[in-house]
Structure 1
Amino acid sequence: MTYTTLRVEQADGICTVSPTRPELGHVINAQFLAELTEVVRGCEAADGPSVLVLTGGAQVFCGGGDFQAVAESDAVLDPAPLYDLWRRLAMGPFVSVAVTRGRVNAGGVGLAAACDMVLADHSASFALSELLFGLFPACVLPFLIRRVGEQRAHYLTLSTQPVNAAQALAWGLVDGVEDPVDGLLRKHLLRLRRLDKSAVGRYKLYRHDLSALVDAARPPALEANRAMFSDPATRTGIRRYVTEQKFPWEN
């Protein structure tokens, strides 16, 4: 397919995906989801790439959901495609690697946490800002809890404060930190590209069976997400933030 939100490169069994909208903070919208899902489907194929590398920009890996799209539409976006994309990253028969620089916010944290490995440079910071807008990270939490545990995910949700790369490494949200992060990625790819794809697939299914949180949490996560974005007061607050850059509590 033709990509408008992503740049996709494939070589030596490695598929590298880079977002192409830095002016929008690489936010997640319907087009981004459709395009990245198509890439992931290709990696799921038996003859597809065995490693999927997701990169971001120098300033922002992913700013989360597209508030502009929410503000401009009366429809409530279906969270299922996003949740199912993250599930595929977590369970697909390939190794998914998130390479993070700069700001990783809200749904961007979910995108990274769903991946098998998260690499970062020291500029990376991770935050869940949803409660500032009367929301909470319903779809993010099952993937984040698998990485950092319930209390740390709880703290990130309530504090809404960013944690730096060193803290994220200590908590297990990040697996490695190095400047520049490209060198760290190359070290990992030397081994990852040699792994047998069918063996990776069998292992990841087994790992999922050990802890079925992602599947068990899907129904309540989707229900909670739909309820939040259906709330008129919440939607009014989002529209005000988009148009006036003011948080809901600001006069």
Structure 2
Amino acid sequence: MSFETLKVATSGPICRIAFDRPDAGNAINAVLVAEFTAVLRSLAAENGPDGVPVTVIVLEGGRDVFCAGGDFEVVAAEGDAGDPEPLYALWQALAEGPFVTIALVRGRANAGGVGFVAACDIVIAEPSARFGLSELLFGLFPACVLPFLIRRIGHQRAHFMTLMTRQIGASDALASGLVDILCDDAEIELVRNLARLTNLGKPAIARYKTYMATCRGDPGADKAAALAANRQVFADPDVVAGIRRYVTEMKFPWEE
């Protein structure tokens, strides 16, 4: 498939999605949201072109700009930013879908670009990465970004980023929890981690992320869901068969 705003390449269990609006700073518009959503829906429902279930999605931008946020050119021309629900649903799909989502961040991630980063499961950044929420400068605030950002870095840190409107560097983002891995070469670090991540099965990822979407870290409130999830996985005959095989043959489920 060809896209107007994205570059998409799938190989085995890995799909790489790159923002491809370099002249617009990879800004988010309705076409980008629709195309990205279509890709995720396809990958969630079907195998990739190699006939293999896609279990890892890698999101990246450009060297200097990861994603500049919403497209102000559209707002200036039309006087409206459009319906925010499709973008919010896209971030939910990244956060809760049946795949491991990884953001590779180089350069600037602003506003909605931070939303994409915060929605991903794992964030790998290079020292050039910078993160900012500039919305209040224009009388806006990042209402749709904040639920995903607060989940990652906590209420006060997200509140501080919103009020200050200034960019933070990669090392500060690492300290806050917005970035998981800071390295000189994100590609090398990605390859190093893919060797393990691609061994995770799609049903296991789907169950885990569905559970994590409702887990709040409160032992009392989470008890019923935790017990139900535990019982569900041990009731799966494929899971039990994999455990038996490991006990008898010392082989992991993915090994021949």
Q: TM-score interval w.r.t. the shorter chain?
A: 0.7 to 0.9
**Corresponding residue for 2:242?**
none
Contact 1:42 1:49 in 2 (8 A): no
- Indicate the percent of aligned positions where both proteins have the same amino acid: 53
Instruction: After TM superposition, list the pairs within 5 Å mapping 1:199-218 onto structure 2.
Output: 199-211=204-216
**Corresponding residue for 2:26?**
26
**For 1:98 and 1:28, how far apart are their aligned partners in 2?**
16
> Bigger radius of gyration, 1 or 2?
2
Change (3 A) 1:173 1:76: closer
**Corresponding residue for 1:82?**
87
Partner SS, residue 32 of structure 1: helix
**For 2:117 and 2:148, how far apart are their aligned partners in 1?**
9
**Corresponding residue for 1:177?**
182
**For 2:116 and 2:81, how far apart are their aligned partners in 1?**
21
Q: CA deviation at 1:103?
A: 0.2
Do structure 1's residue 125 and structure 2's residue 149 form an aligned pair? no
Change (3 A) 1:171 1:123: same
- Equivalent position to 2:150, from 137, 145, 159: 145
**For 1:74 and 1:120, how far apart are their aligned partners in 2?**
34
Partner SS, residue 209 of structure 1: coil
**For 1:51 and 1:211, how far apart are their aligned partners in 2?**
24
For structure 1, which segment, 46-55 or 157-166, has the greater mean C-alpha deviation from structure 2 after superposition? Answer: 46-55
**Corresponding residue for 1:2?**
2
**Corresponding residue for 1:73?**
78
**For 2:165 and 2:120, how far apart are their aligned partners in 1?**
22
Partner SS, residue 66 of structure 2: strand
Change (3 A) 1:201 1:46: farther
The letter for the 2-side match of 1:45 is A
Do structure 1's residue 111 and structure 2's residue 112 form an aligned pair? no
Q: Which of the pair has the greater relative contact order for Cα pairs under 8 Å at 6+ separation?
A: 1
Gaps of 5+ in 1: 213-251
**For 1:75 and 1:208, how far apart are their aligned partners in 2?**
31
**For 2:32 and 2:15, how far apart are their aligned partners in 1?**
16
Runs of 4+ in 1 over 6 A off after TM superposition: none
Q: CA deviation at 1:208?
A: 1.0
Contact 2:74 2:81 in 1 (8 A): no
Partner SS, residue 131 of structure 2: strand
**For 1:211 and 1:31, how far apart are their aligned partners in 2?**
34
**For 1:113 and 1:208, how far apart are their aligned partners in 2?**
14
Contact 2:124 2:181 in 1 (8 A): yes
Do structure 1's residue 52 and structure 2's residue 49 form an aligned pair? no
Structure 2-normalised TM-score?
0.81
**Corresponding residue for 1:246?**
none
Change (3 A) 1:11 1:30: same
**For 2:19 and 2:79, how far apart are their aligned partners in 1?**
27
**For 1:75 and 1:141, how far apart are their aligned partners in 2?**
21
Contact 1:105 1:127 in 2 (8 A): yes
